[in-house]
């Protein structure tokens, strides 16, 4: 009994107390299938309840009394086996971003359940063509029409789809069976995958890369050939030809028999984008998106695993495609929020990509017109290799940008949401039959309080972020809990026009209709795109000029090319500027750059109107000039001063509970525990909170937050691990849950 092998198994229940491995023995007959990464059924607990689990390790030593170790019941057939490097990756994800091991495993396994594999049957000749021709004439003589049709078809096309033969050629099933028995035809059964993009007959027209593009392609390909694996950041303005660069590099990587993962934010994964890749790479490519069924996604991962495709394009989750020979991961629009998971484990896809690349010997390319502060900072530190594209690839002129000071409009007694400049240009475009996009930046809009007369914004004296209104007439800081009553007069100019900011897209649509009667207006926001295909319907009717004006949220600024759009109006750029979190300026800069990039994409040149109460704000100034470097430098000063990422790291602890008192008590206690750790270890870390979360109650669950700011990420991981352990046995947290988030993307 000495060479018994024990399987370490993670039980498929996400609960902190079960978040460890359990040992099981492997019955002799299961040894071949019971590999690391396999999905198994095991008896669990006192009642030996049958439960799923994953084998994550093997060992020869029992950790408990051998007699107590139970055997595995079965290994689930047809279930995808997780590669061992992906198992390692999920350990790393759990460690680096928090959450349970089970959550982490589920993240890396594309589809957990085995899905029925569709079999496609086809028919072909079992005889040679000379014999087939003889039979063909024989059937004609006998007036056997069905057989004639079949032979004719088979002589033209050696393989026929079985169902097509029955339905399109109207051959009775019995005839097919009869011919097979006689040895005339044979039936081939084949597994088919549900390929979401069918073969299409379209030609790829190569472009001649310009000098800037060629330098990047040459540089990265040379590294690659020499075996250098690295992370690259391509900073290239919108339309500078990044996608062409990716395709060129991709072609070189797959020519070496390697595979590539290309991440694109779901919102930009449009038909247009997909077809560009399809034209060049055809069937070797596959697409993943969240609208696909589990079956489709399972097929994609199976195809990837079997080496039938070289390239997968998809959103964040495509990062875990089980390629056997991964050569490169490309992350387009790397600054996008959607690369950070909003559910546990709250992983940052870029960091996971770099880790996966390290484990498999691949390289990583990040690309953006407005790189995240984190990535650009790393590039400056030499951690990533930086490349830049400064010119638009097609000779389009950059748009002319107007910044309109809304305080001046108020002085001119213009209380409408359209400044005089914007009104004038809208009328101009309507006359010229050109198109207009009106953009209302509502992301992160959290009811900040500002003065319409002088633009003053109420901020937390401790955190330098805006205070948020509450029904109670108070304003609150969601980082530290600081509060004060909402003023009735502006503390700076004593104006009465101080209030919470708020205009919705629907309101804008109404006002457009009132101000410009006769203009055809479309609205695109979360309301109008709820239905499946809502996006495409709105975008295609706008593309076909069924409307003159498209009003929308950030949805309308992502990656769509409308050649007839020559005016982009940003109704209130400030809405995202004071969103109550430290990334507000960065997000504003990104959105303004993107919105500006929508105007004048083709021959017609464009204009952009940015309406704001803060024309002097650096986010707005630098975005208007399209000057990323200026923005980066100013924003880094703020981050350094306030010790926000990337100058330092933040660990957020979120306590949730159905009982308000329990949540408060737990949050206070957690704060004390953190203080004690910091004191004990003599860490100069900053503890902020506890405070009610921005969303202080959701679905009747109370939410409390604590932030810990410290330079070193690893130390914050230690603190998280300690708190996780402490939480699992301390009775102070009864009825509460605890979650973590590193360097959160928005307020909680
Ligand atoms: P990005 O991904 O940086 O926004 P794209 O790769 O989509 O830029 O390029 C923008 C447009 O310019 C596309 O229509 C593309 O086909 C075209 N383009 C890119 N590079 C070249 C080039 N070297 N010559 C001609 N057209 C190009
Ligand atoms: Zn004021
Ligand atoms: Zn504060």
Pick from 208, 393, 597 the residue to mutate for probing ligand 1's pocket: most ligand atoms within 8 Å of its CB. 393
pLDDT at 204 over 60: yes
Q: Which residue has the higher pLDDT, 172 or 272?
A: 172
Domain extent, residue 530, equals 396-445+502-639
Q: Are 400 and 514 within one domain?
A: yes
Question: What's the Cα-to-Cα distance from 37 to each of 20, 70, 78, 514, rounded to whole Å?
Answer: 16, 19, 13, 62
- Please name which of 402, 411, 413 lies closest in space to residue 569, comparing C-alpha atoms: 402
Does the beta carbon of 393 lie inside 6 Å of ligand 1? yes
Q: Hunting for tokens 């799923």 — which residue is that?
A: 52
Query: So what's the pLDDT on residue 190?
Result: 61
pLDDT at 23 over 80: yes
Domain count, the chain: 5
Least confident of 86-90, 114-118, 542-546, 565-569: 114-118
- Please name which of 621, 632, 568 lies closest in space to residue 595, comparing C-alpha atoms: 568
pLDDT at 728 over 70: yes
Does the beta carbon of 241 lie inside 6 Å of ligand 1? yes
Q: What is the pLDDT of residues 121-155, one digit of tens each?
A: 788 888 888 888 899 999 999 989 999 999 888 88
Kindly give, in sequence order, each residue whose CB lies less than 8 Å from that of residue 14, ignoring residues fewer than 6 positions away: 100, 102, 103, 344
Q: Residue 712: give its domain's CATH number.
A: 3.30.70.600
Q: Are 246 and 172 within one domain?
A: no
CA 707 – CA 671 distance, rounded (Å): 9
Pick from 235, 244, 273, 367 the residue to mutate for probing ligand 1's pocket: most ligand atoms within 8 Å of its CB. 244
CA 313 – CA 285 distance, rounded (Å): 8
Is 95 exposed, middle or buried, given 0-12, 13-18 or 19+ CB atoms closer than 10 A?
Answer: middle
Query: How far is Cα of residue 44 from the mean position of the Cα atoms in its chain?
Result: 36
Kindly give, in sequence order, each residue whose CB lies less than 8 Å from that of residue 143, ignoring residues fewer than 6 positions away: none
DSSP letters along 689-721, please?
EEEEEEEEEETTEEEEEEEEEES-HHHHHHHHH
Confidence of residue 298 (pLDDT cuts 50, 70, 90): confident
Does the beta carbon of 368 lie inside 6 Å of ligand 1? no
Pick from 233, 241, 273 the residue to mutate for probing ligand 1's pocket: most ligand atoms within 8 Å of its CB. 241
CA 691 – CA 570 distance, rounded (Å): 34
Query: Dihedral, CA atoms, 585, 586, 591, 592, nearest 10 degrees?
Result: 60
The partner residues of 44 in beta bridges, in order of sequence, read 49
Query: So what's the pLDDT on residue 63?
Result: 85
What is the average pLDDT across 8-32?
81
pTM of the complete model: 0.80
Rounded to the nearest angstrom, the distance between the alpha carbon of 348 and the centre of ligand 3 is 26
What is the three-state SS of 564-623? CEEEEEECCHHHHCCCCCCCHHHHHHHHHHHHHCCCCCCCCCCEEEEEECCCCCHHHHHH
Q: Are 251 and 149 within one domain?
A: no
Q: How many CA atoms, within 13 angstroms, populate the side-chain half-sphere of residue 646? A: 16
pLDDT at 120 over 60: yes
Q: Are 530 and 665 within one domain?
A: no
Q: Hunting for tokens 């595979």 — which residue is that?
A: 259
Q: Are 390 and 403 within one domain?
A: no
Q: What is the pLDDT of residues 237-246, one digit of tens each?
A: 888 899 999 9
Q: Percent of the chain having pLDDT more than 90?
A: 46
Does the beta carbon of 210 lie inside 6 Å of ligand 1? yes
Q: Are 676 and 554 within one domain?
A: no
Residue 594 lies in a domain: yes
Rounded to the nearest angstrom, the distance between the alpha carbon of 389 and the centre of ligand 1 is 11
Query: So what's the pLDDT on residue 118?
Result: 58
Query: So what's the pLDDT on residue 226?
Result: 96
**Nearest ligand for residue 395 CA:** 1
Q: Are 186 and 236 within one domain?
A: no
Asked whether the beta carbons of 601 and 562 are under 8 A apart, the reply is yes
Query: So what's the pLDDT on residue 157?
Result: 74
Q: Residue 75: give its domain's CATH number.
A: 3.40.1440.60
Q: Are 376 and 415 within one domain?
A: no
Residues with CB under 5 A from ligand 2 (ion): 451, 453-454, 456, 490, 492-493, 495
**E strand segments, 101-241:** 119-125, 159-161, 185-191, 231-236
Does the beta carbon of 207 lie inside 6 Å of ligand 1? yes
The partner residues of 260 in beta bridges, in order of sequence, read 311, 328
Residue 467 lies in a domain: no
Residue 479 lies in a domain: no
Q: Residue 513: give its domain's CATH number.
A: 3.40.50.300
Query: So what's the pLDDT on residue 558?
Result: 67
**Which residue, 85, 108, 131, sits at the end of a domain?**
108
Q: Are 271 and 368 within one domain?
A: yes
Q: What is the pLDDT of residues 72-83, one digit of tens each?
A: 999 988 776 777
**E strand segments, 622-685:** 649-657
CA 395 – CA 309 distance, rounded (Å): 35
**Nearest ligand for residue 410 CA:** 2
Residue 320 lies in a domain: yes
Asked whether the beta carbons of 312 and 321 are under 8 A apart, the reply is yes
User: 3-state class of 667 per DSSP?
Assistant: helix
Does the beta carbon of 248 lie inside 6 Å of ligand 1? no
Residue 183 lies in a domain: yes
């Amino acid at each position: 009994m000495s060479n018994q092998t024990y399987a370490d198994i993670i039980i498929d229940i996400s609960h902190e107390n079960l978040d460890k491995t359990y040992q099981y023995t492997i019955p002799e007959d299961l040894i071949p299938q019971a590999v690391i990464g396999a999905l198994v059924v095991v008896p669990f607990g006192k009642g030996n309840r049958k439960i799923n689990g994953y084998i994550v390790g093997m060992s020869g030593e029992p950790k408990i009394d051998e007699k107590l170790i139970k055997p595995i019941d079965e290994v689930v057939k047809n279930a995808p086996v997780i590669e061992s490097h992906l198992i390692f990756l999920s350990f790393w994800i759990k460690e680096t971003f928090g959450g349970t091991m089970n959550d982490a495993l589920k993240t890396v396994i594309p589809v957990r359940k085995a899905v029925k594999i569709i079999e496609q049957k086809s028919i072909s000749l079992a005889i040679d063509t000379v014999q087939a021709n003889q039979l063909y004439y024989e059937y004609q003589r006998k007036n056997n029409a069905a057989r004639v049709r079949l032979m004719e078809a088979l002589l033209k096309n050696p393989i026929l789809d079985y169902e097509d033969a029955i339905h399109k050629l109207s051959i009775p099933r019995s005839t097919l069976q009869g011919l097979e028995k006689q040895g005339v035809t044979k039936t081939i059964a084949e597994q088919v995958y549900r390929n979401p993009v069918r073969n299409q007959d379209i030609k790829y027209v190569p472009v001649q890369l310009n000098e800037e593009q060629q330098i990047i392609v040459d540089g990265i390909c040379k590294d690659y050939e020499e075996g250098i694996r690295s992370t690259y950041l391509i900073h290239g303005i919108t339309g500078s030809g990044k996608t062409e660069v990716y395709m060129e590099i991709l072609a070189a990587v797959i020519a070496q028999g390697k595979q590539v993962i290309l991440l694109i934010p779901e919102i930009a994964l449009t038909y247009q984008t997909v077809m560009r890749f399809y034209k060049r790479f055809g069937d070797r490519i596959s697409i993943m998106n969240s609208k696909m069924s589990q079956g489709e996604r399972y097929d994609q991962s199976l195809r990837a695993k079997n080496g039938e495709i070289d390239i997968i394009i998809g959103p964040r989750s495509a990062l875990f495609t089980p390629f056997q020979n991964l050569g490169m991961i490309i992350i387009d629009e790397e600054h996008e929020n959607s690369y950070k998971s909003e559910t546990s484990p709250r992983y940052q896809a870029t960091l996971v990509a770099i880790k996966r690349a390290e484990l498999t010997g691949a390289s990583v390319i990040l690309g953006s017109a407005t790189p995240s502060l984190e990535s650009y900072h790393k590039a400056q530190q030499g951690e990533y290799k930086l490349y830049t594209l400064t010119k638009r690839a097609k000779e389009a002129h950059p748009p002319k940008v107007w910044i309109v000071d809304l305080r001046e409009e108020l002085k001119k007694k213009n209380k409408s949401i359209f400044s005089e400049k914007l009104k004038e240009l809208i009328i101009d475009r309507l006359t010229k039959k050109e198109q207009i996009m009106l953009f209302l930046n509502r992301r992160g809009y959290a009811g900040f309080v500002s003065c319409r007369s002088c633009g003053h914004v109420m901020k937390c004296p401790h955190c330098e972020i805006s205070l948020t209104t509450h029904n109670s007439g108070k304003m609150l800081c969601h980082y530290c809990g600081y509060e004060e009553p909402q003023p009735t007069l502006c503390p700076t100019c004593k104006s009465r026009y101080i209030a919470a900011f708020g205009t919705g897209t629907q309101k804008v649509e109404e006002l457009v209709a009132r101000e410009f009667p006769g203009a055809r207006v479309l609205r695109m926001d979360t309301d109008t795109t709820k239905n499946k295909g809502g996006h495409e319907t709105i975008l295609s009717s706008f593309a076909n000029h069924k409307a003159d004006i498209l009003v929308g949220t950030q949805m309308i600024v992502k990656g769509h090319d409308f050649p007839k759009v020559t005016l982009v109006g940003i109704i209130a750029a400030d809405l995202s500027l004071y969103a109550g979190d430290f990334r507000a300026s960065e997000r504003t800069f990104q959105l303004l750059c993107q919105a500006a990039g929508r105007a004048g994409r083709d021959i017609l040149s464009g204009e952009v109107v940015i309406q704001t109460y803060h024309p002097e704000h650096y986010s707005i100034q630098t975005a208007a000039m399209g000057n990323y470097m200026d923005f980066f430098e100013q924003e880094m000063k703020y981050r350094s001063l306030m010790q926000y990422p990337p100058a330092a790291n933040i660990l957020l602890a979120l306590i949730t509970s159905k009982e308000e008192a329990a949540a408060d008590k737990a949050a206070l206690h957690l704060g004390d525990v953190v203080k004690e750790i910091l004191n004990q270890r003599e860490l100069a870390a900053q503890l902020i909170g506890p405070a009610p979360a921005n969303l202080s109650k959701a679905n009747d669950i109370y939410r409390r937050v604590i932030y810990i700011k410290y330079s070193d990420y690893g130390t914050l991981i230690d603190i998280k691990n300690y708190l996780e352990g402490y939480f699992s046995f301390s009775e102070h947290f009864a009825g509460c849950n605890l979650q973590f988030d590193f360097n959160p993307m928005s307020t909680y």
